[in-house]
Structure 1
Amino acid sequence: MAEYDLTQKLIPHLDRHLVFPLLNHLADTNLFPIEQVQQAQYELAKGTNMVDYAVGLFNQLHPGEEAPEEYAAKRDNAVSTNDRLQQEAQAVLDVIENPDVVSALRQDKMQNLQYLKDNYNLTLDQITALYNFGQFQYTYGNYSGAADYLYHFRILSTSPQLLLSAHWGKFASDILTGKWDSALEELNRLRDVIEGSNAGPALGQLQSRTWLLHWSLFVYFNHPDGRQLLLDTFLSPAYLNTIQTSCPWILRYLAAACIISRKSATARAGRNTLQNIVKIIQTEEYQYTDPITNFLRELYVEFDFEGAQKWLGEAEKVLDNDFFLQEFKTEFMENARFVVSEVYCRIHQKIDIADLSKRLNMSQDDGEKWIVNLIRDTRMGADAKIDLEKNVITTHRQNLPVYQSVIEKTRGLTFRTQVLGAAMNRRADGEEFTKERGKAGRGKRDGSDKAAAPVPVAEN
């Protein structure tokens, strides 16, 4: 299953600290040699101020060897820098946490800065100390403290660049502390900033959306409503275009979320959503495929149940090893079996239970129980009957009468005809108006013997 692991594709679009959970998970899957994973963890930790963690990883890789001397100097420098930044930030906090100051602050940041400067001699450079200390705390793994300081900085600062960086830092801190409601709020704020009128050049927007798609996976696969929200976000035109342009592997999570959330509120339009995703998978097949996307393609495009069965078995193994999808394996398999049986029963009128169980990768006994529950709990119950002696399901779907079919197919015809007629009337009125203006123009003289030129008519 190593060929289907997406860690190496996700890492370039994640913050260094967000990669640690992925590598820790990878160390438990045995997809790659443990020494390679530990080496990757060590190289990652060297770029942070988590000195003790880096030394521990070095000792794992080189048992019996002394850690490089540079780590002792790095630890001393980190402690001194932390003390200095904390003093600078605390001076600001003592002011802005004063109850009198809190009651005096308003929505206008410029007014607040002027008030702090006039009454407490607090400048914008001093307020930036909150950002510096919050960022430093993030580098040595105090994510909760980093979130607090970045939050206070964001309330007062007017620097667009530092504010955007604080947004990303607060978002990452909430993810790493598991505060999913707060992380979802930060995700929505970042979306608004990225899509704002001052979002910058198109290439910068594309890169920001790409990062947001990857970071949002942590939220969407941990928040209770995450799968529904993932579909809403990823299927919006801007983000769907981003997936197709720069990160087609995100289709795995889009397809998986659609199957997992089959019974959720999204599933009211679920069949249309699933069909749209299948079309996207079919379009992007030249860029990216995996067992999950292949399962949907074989089922809904090729109607190849043997192929769908094969890829569903492979998809189960992918779910076992995927950092984001591992916890949803049971839901995914249950709903995947449902969509297989739904398509199968739509095509066949007489269904062998043993054959359908095989296509669902289930034993015959488990398959019988599952199919009975499926028929009982869905709309199939009114159209299907089980013959336990012959071990078959017979479906009796009533076809619509011919006149009803005609009504259904022509339901929107009257409306479209009215719209077309109105458009033709508007065009006819416009042409008459133009001709009248032309006649009036030809009747005028400009003081010479030549007639005025008619008003030009734009071609449609």
Structure 2
Amino acid sequence: MADYDLSKTIIPFLDRHLAFPLLAHLAETGIFPENEVQIAQYELASGTNMFDYAASLFRQIYSNQEVPKEFDEKRQNVVSMHETLQQEAQAVLDVIENLDVAQSLRQDKNQNLHYLKEHYNLTLEQITALYNFGKFQYSYGNYSGAADYLYHFRVLSTDADLNLSAHWGKLACDILAGKWDTALEELNTLRETIDSRTPSSLVPSGNGSQAVDPALNQLHSRTWLVHWSLFVYFNHPQGRALLLETFLSPTYLNTIQTSCPWILRYLAAAAVISTPTPSSTNSIPLSSRVKNAVRDVVKVIQLEGSQYFDPVTEFLMQLHVEFDFEAAQKALRKAEKVVSDDFFLGEFREEFLESARCLVSEAYCRIHQRIDIGDLSERLNLPRDEGEKWIVNLIRETRMGQDAKIDLEKNLIQISRPPQPIYQSVIEKTRGLAIRTQALGAAVARPGIMSTNANTTTTVS
């Protein structure tokens, strides 16, 4: 399963602190040797102000060595810096938390800065102390405290670049604190900011690169956002549907195909999980994009199969393109293990399996008129008795019951459906042709951005 683990691929697009949960998960699953995971955790922690955590990891890895004295020296420097930054930030908070000041502030930031300067001699440089102290708190793991200071800074500051950096920091804080509703709001706000402007610095600081071309830099920012959003979409109650809405939109689908095709695993998994099942309890109406997600995702997988392929995407390919049920059955067995070991998907293993079985059943019934229940149970990787109960419940509780009749004496399912009108067949085969033609014409007409990945060069329109 180590061959299918995406941690090494995803971590370069995350902040150091966001990478800690992934490494902790790897330590639990045992996919990689424990010593290797501990070394990776230590290297990450060494770049932060979490010295106690780094020292404990050092003792675990190098049990026969003394902890370097530099940890104590850094700790003393951090304590001194903490006192200085806290005093500077508190001076600003004392002003803005004053009830009279709070009532006098308006939506216009420039007007607020003028008011604070005139009445309290508070400048933009002093307000930046909130950002500095929030960033400092984040560096040693006080995420809730950091989120508060970054929020107050963003309310007052007119510095576009620092505001954007505070957006990224606030999103990371909300993710690490498990505040999923707030994190979703922050994610949506950050996405709107990235999509609406192309400044010289859209990617969060610390990535070690600076794109010159604004459009290419915007592509990098969206790539980072796609990876960070996985934390939110796979923890928020409506996250899977929101993931499909976002990732299947032309802008972000283009980003995935260009910069991070491995995200297709999560796109495919979300499409499968969102498939209605007899036990589904989601009462929220689904959009047409979510309803047709499996079909749309399969098309993308076909296009990007040479760039990324794993058991999750292979399952959909074998089922909906090759119609090879034996291969789909084998792929589903592997996909179950991949989903179980994946940091983002592990909690959805049972939902994924049930929805996948529904997809197999629908596809199998679509191309057969007489189906042996025992044979179908085998296709679903279920024991015969359990499979029979599951199939009977599926037919009774879903729309399949309109065309399928169960003959328990013969242990068969009889499928009787009216023939599809010829015009409907034409519509199905030409669906989306106009949109694809328009997109192709636009791509040919306009010069693109050339982005070279490991194996291919892709044009981003």
From 246, 249, 253, give the equivalent of 1:236. Answer: 249
1:271 offset after TM fit, Å?
Answer: 5.4
Query: Quick one: which amino acid aligns to residue 357 of structure 1?
Result: S
From 374, 378, 384, give the equivalent of 2:404. Answer: 384
Match in the other structure for 2:130: 130
Change (3 A) 1:269 1:83: closer
Query: Quick one: which amino acid aligns to residue 26 of structure 1?
Result: L
Query: Quick one: which amino acid aligns to residue 113 of structure 2?
Result: L
Q: Number of aligned pairs?
A: 409
* Matches for 1:348-367 after TM superposition, within 5 Å: 348-367=368-387
Counterpart Cα distance in 2 of 1:183 and 1:101:
28
1:266 aligned counterpart, secondary structure: coil
Match in the other structure for 1:422: none
* Matches for 1:49-198 after TM superposition, within 5 Å: 49-198=49-198
* Matches for 1:252-331 after TM superposition, within 5 Å: 252-263=265-276, 265-266=285-286, 270=290, 272-331=292-351
* Mapped pair 1:208 → 2:221: yes
4+ residue stretches of structure 1 with deviation over 3 A?
A: 197-200, 264-271, 404-411
2:286 aligned counterpart, secondary structure: helix
* Mapped pair 1:397 → 2:447: no
1:4 offset after TM fit, Å?
Answer: 0.2
**Contact kept? 1:258, 1:274, Cα under 8 Å:** yes
Match in the other structure for 2:432: none
Counterpart Cα distance in 2 of 1:321 and 1:152:
39
From 220, 227, 235, give the equivalent of 1:222. Answer: 235
Higher RCO (Cα < 8 Å, 6 or more apart):
2
**Contact kept? 2:128, 2:153, Cα under 8 Å:** yes
1:197 offset after TM fit, Å?
Answer: 3.8
Query: Quick one: which amino acid aligns to residue 211 of structure 1?
Result: W
1:276 offset after TM fit, Å?
Answer: 1.2
Post-superposition Cα deviations, 1:371-409, rounded to whole Å, max 9, x if no partner, equal 000110012223222222221111111225xxx655886
Query: Quick one: which amino acid aligns to residue 244 of structure 1?
Result: Q
With structure 1 as the length reference, what TM-score do the two structures score? 0.86
Post-superposition Cα deviations, 1:391-441, rounded to whole Å, max 9, x if no partner, equal 1111111225xxx65588689xxxxxxxxxxxxxxxxxxxxxxxxxxxxxx
**Contact kept? 1:259, 1:336, Cα under 8 Å:** yes
Query: Quick one: which amino acid aligns to residue 105 of structure 2?
Result: L
Query: Quick one: which amino acid aligns to residue 183 of structure 1?
Result: A
Q: Percent identity?
A: 66
Counterpart Cα distance in 2 of 1:410 and 1:28:
50
Counterpart Cα distance in 2 of 1:90 and 1:148:
12
Change (3 A) 1:243 1:407: closer
1:286 aligned counterpart, secondary structure: coil
**Contact kept? 1:261, 1:267, Cα under 8 Å:** no
> Which structure shows the bigger proportion of residues in helix conformation?
1
**Contact kept? 1:48, 1:139, Cα under 8 Å:** yes
**Contact kept? 2:371, 2:413, Cα under 8 Å:** yes
Match in the other structure for 1:17: 17
Moved more, 133-142 or 64-73: 64-73
Change (3 A) 1:235 1:290: same
Match in the other structure for 1:251: 264
**Contact kept? 1:134, 1:147, Cα under 8 Å:** yes
Counterpart Cα distance in 1 of 2:189 and 2:424:
46
Counterpart Cα distance in 1 of 2:416 and 2:93:
73
1:262 offset after TM fit, Å?
Answer: 1.4
Counterpart Cα distance in 2 of 1:34 and 1:409:
57
**Contact kept? 2:146, 2:173, Cα under 8 Å:** yes
1:195 aligned counterpart, secondary structure: helix
Query: Quick one: which amino acid aligns to residue 241 of structure 1?
Result: N
**Contact kept? 2:198, 2:215, Cα under 8 Å:** no
Greater Rg, structure 1 or structure 2?
1
Change (3 A) 1:407 1:250: closer
1:231 aligned counterpart, secondary structure: helix
With structure 2 as the length reference, what TM-score do the two structures score? 0.86
Runs (5+) with no aligned partner, structure 2: 201-213, 277-281, 429-461
Change (3 A) 1:193 1:343: same
Change (3 A) 1:342 1:199: farther
Query: Quick one: which amino acid aligns to residue 384 of structure 1?
Result: A
